[in-house]
Amino acid sequence: MKIIYNPEADTLYISLSDDPRAKQLPINDETTFDLSADGQVLGIELLSATAKYGGSIIDLDFSLLGAFTRAPQLTYTN
């Protein structure tokens, strides 16, 4: 899992897989799922991330996930 935050665009992308994207499924005006050819969710894009979810969305503590899965990588892009 990789989490990418772009502060200039205020977008947060949660990548669940590196498999190729076949299509996108808009959930609402600010959320889109990237899907594989067989319908698996590969990633989730959140627009207006801090405006909608608050600044804490980029300060999440993923340390508890270590017991269940590999902790995600948080990347900032410009």
pTM equals 0.72
Spatial contact of 46 and 31, defined as CB atoms under 8 Å apart: yes
Domain ranges across the chain = 2-76
Q: How many angstroms separate the most distant Cα atoms in the chain?
A: 34
**What are the tens digits of pLDDT across the range 17-56?**
999 999 999 999 999 999 999 999 999 999 998 887 776 6
**What are the tens digits of pLDDT across the range 41-52?**
999 999 998 887
Spatial contact of 51 and 10, defined as CB atoms under 8 Å apart: yes
CA distance linking residue 38 with residue 61, whole number of Å = 32
CA distance linking residue 65 with residue 76, whole number of Å = 20
Query: Looking at the chain, how many residues does it have?
Result: 78
β-sheet bridge partners, residue 2:
15, 73
